[in-house]
Amino acid sequence: MQTELKPKRIPYGIQGFEMLRNDNSYYVDKTMFIPEMENANKYFFIVRPRRFGKTLLLNMLKTYYDIKKKDIFDKMFSGLWIHDNPTENRNSYLVLHLNFAMVSGSIDDYRQSFDGYCDLMFKHFCKTYKEFYPEDAQEQLVKREYKAIEQLKYIVSEVVPDKKIYFFIDEYDNFTNNILSDYTQLGRYMDETHRTGYLRAFFNALKDGCQTSIERLFITGVSPVTLDDLTSGFNIGTNYSTDARFNELLGFTENDVREMVRYYDGFYHFQYSEDEIIETIRPWYDNYCFAEDAFGKTTMYNSDMILYFMDNLCSHNEFPKKIIDSNIRTDYAKLKMLIRKDREFKYEASIIQKLATDGQYIAPLNDHFPAEKITEKKNFVSLLYYFGMVSIGGLARGEVIFKIPNIVVREQLFEYLIENYEENDLKCDSWIVDEALSQMAFDGVWKPFFDYTADLLKKYAASRDKAKGESFVHGFTLAATCRSHVYFAHSEPDTSDGFPDLYLEPRTNLYHDLTHSYLIEFKYAKSDATETEITNKTAEGILQLEKYSKFGFVVEKSKKTTLHCLLVVYKGVEMVKCEQILEIKE
């Protein structure tokens, strides 16, 4: 029973813990992880995809451990697990926080920005904890102005002996990710992060501080690349990114999401049931797993996506038509540098294409690798994992089955794939494609779309010496098809009975005049295939479509629409058949 007079604010976009608590915002409690984190290595590293709540977690820890915030402990933590189960280290540290997202600039001028930012933060730190430093601390920092390494050395050496520092670094890899997005700067990046490089020297000073007054260290980021480059030899820290104990540390579990839905339903009386809401958002936002040992137990929702959805649902009592929050889209520029080896699609085993067409990629999960080895396939798929573009979808032969976790990520990957095709001069007119997809959805006219994409592929192949294989053709067609915003595009559901290459599930809950759904089976033959081979593939495709059209999943999701079962056959890069095999009316 709801006892509050008005609902808590939905903290969409809020990263400050104290602001969140002061504004009476909804908070998914993560404080029960504090004892486990204290029992772990004192120098704690963790990376997660963007917008998974890393900064909010860090700010909560800062408030919990800050010696200056003892008097607000009850206000900030009342009602949370840790309030009734505090640890001995509560409010016992001097807290020093650096957010490297505040460091801007290119490889040529980042030092100035880095030194300037650290100068401000170090002076603020010594002012905040002035009673624990010599009276001339500010003067000493001024003498070392814009020399971050020297200032850091002063701070860790001059604090009074009985006080210790908890050092937090948020987005530690932000500026190096920006540098790495420019492939020509890799050499300069290596200079700065290895041997006597400036960034390397800063982390060496941090390591020295861990031997004296820095008692705990908490570092977050998006990928382990910079960590590997900067901290080689930093053997006092531990990377907990793939540790099952912390799989649920960031993001929301389904129980968290259900509890949130029930809470706000008590105020807004949603027109949808709890299960209807969960069934709608699960394929879009769920299915992240951050540890091999956690697979099959608990999956995680992207917390930012959930807050975006709930903010819209509470405001309008309707599901948002734009179910993808534009703020969560990965910065593709950071990925473009990483796939230079696949850029011209020399390899039939291009990882992006294989993920698009097969829905999975099997490889080991690497917890560290240097920048110069990013483009090696075994590292690149791990990098996609850390960016949140793939997740752990199973285990096989001692390796990880990486899968696209949800529709939001799938659409991002397909957008990236389309951009990559365009860079290789295989360009489609987005207006023509969107109009053709609209005709499919609302008029049941499907031939123009497949004719257009087939024509593009044929013209492209004719202008090149090199032949393109099945993955190339399939990947391009799938990517173009998945531009539609009125369908959920399914290409690899988990079923032992097989599934068509593409099922376009209609979003009839949002588009009430949407009356057509599609099962599409693609068949591919080599350019020198005989008529008999084409006939055999056609017959195989017909039998598969007849079988798939009876699947309970397809029957249920296609209600209220006419289901078109289409067979598309390619011979090389030439489409030789595009036929409707079945039409099942509602």
Dihedrals φ, ψ of 14, to 5°? -90, 125
Alpha-carbon gap, residue 66 to 89, rounded angstroms: 10
What are 548-585's pLDDT values in tens digits? Answer: 999 988 999 998 999 999 999 999 888 999 999 999 98
Per-residue pLDDT band for 497 (boundaries 50, 70, 90) equals low
* Token pair recorded at residue 93: 């540290």
* Token pair recorded at residue 259: 């509890």
- State how beta strands 487-490 and 502-506 pair: antiparallel
Average pLDDT over residues 23-43: 96
241 has a pLDDT exceeding 90: yes
91 has a pLDDT exceeding 70: yes
What are 444-470's pLDDT values in tens digits? Answer: 999 999 999 999 888 887 766 455 566
Tell me which residue of 61, 165, 167, 151 sits closest to 114, measured CA to CA: 151
**pLDDT at site 336:** 56
Annotate 114-158 with DSSP letters as a single string.
HHHHHHHHHHHHHHHTGGGS-TTHHHHHHHTTT-HHHHHHHHHHH
Per-residue pLDDT band for 349 (boundaries 50, 70, 90) equals very low
508 has a pLDDT exceeding 90: no
375 has a pLDDT exceeding 80: no
Mean pLDDT of the chain: 87
Q: Which of helix, strand or coil describes residue 251?
A: coil
Model confidence, pTM: 0.88
Average pLDDT over residues 404-408: 88
Per-residue pLDDT band for 347 (boundaries 50, 70, 90) equals very low
Give the whole-number percent of the chain exceeding pLDDT 70.
88
Average pLDDT over residues 282-291: 94
Annotate 52-82 with DSSP letters as a single string.
SSHHHHHHHHHHHHBGGGGGGHHHHHTTSHH
* Token pair recorded at residue 393: 């979808």
Q: Tell which wins on pLDDT, 130 or 412.
A: 130
Average pLDDT over residues 331-336: 53
Alpha-carbon gap, residue 107 to 118, rounded angstroms: 17
What are 13-30's pLDDT values in tens digits? Answer: 899 999 999 999 999 999
Average pLDDT over residues 124-131: 97
What are 350-370's pLDDT values in tens digits? Answer: 777 778 777 788 999 988 877
Give the whole-number percent of the chain exceeding pLDDT 90.
58
Tell me which residue of 560, 565, 557 sits closest to 582, measured CA to CA: 565
183 has a pLDDT exceeding 80: no
What are 468-483's pLDDT values in tens digits? Answer: 566 677 778 888 887 7
Least-confidence region, from 121-130, 426-435, 530-539: 426-435
**pLDDT at site 233:** 53
Tell me which residue of 402, 401, 370 sits closest to 387, measured CA to CA: 402
* Token pair recorded at residue 428: 């489609």
Average pLDDT over residues 155-166: 96
**pLDDT at site 342:** 47
**What are the chain's domains?**
29-243 (3.40.50), 254-328 (no CATH), 425-586 (no CATH)
Per-residue pLDDT band for 423 (boundaries 50, 70, 90) equals confident
Per-residue pLDDT band for 59 (boundaries 50, 70, 90) equals very high
**pLDDT at site 287:** 95
Alpha-carbon gap, residue 56 to 301, rounded angstroms: 16
**pLDDT at site 348:** 44
What are 289-325's pLDDT values in tens digits? Answer: 999 999 999 999 999 999 999 999 999 999 988 888 7
Q: Which residues pair with 570 in a beta bridge?
A: 524, 575
522 has a pLDDT exceeding 60: yes
Dihedrals φ, ψ of 243, to 5°? -85, 125
Least-confidence region, from 168-172, 426-430, 520-524: 426-430
Complete edge-to-edge strand list for the sheet that includes strand 165-170 = 94-99, 165-170, 214-221, 43-47, 238-239
**pLDDT at site 464:** 60
169 has a pLDDT exceeding 70: yes
Alpha-carbon gap, residue 270 to 316, rounded angstroms: 10
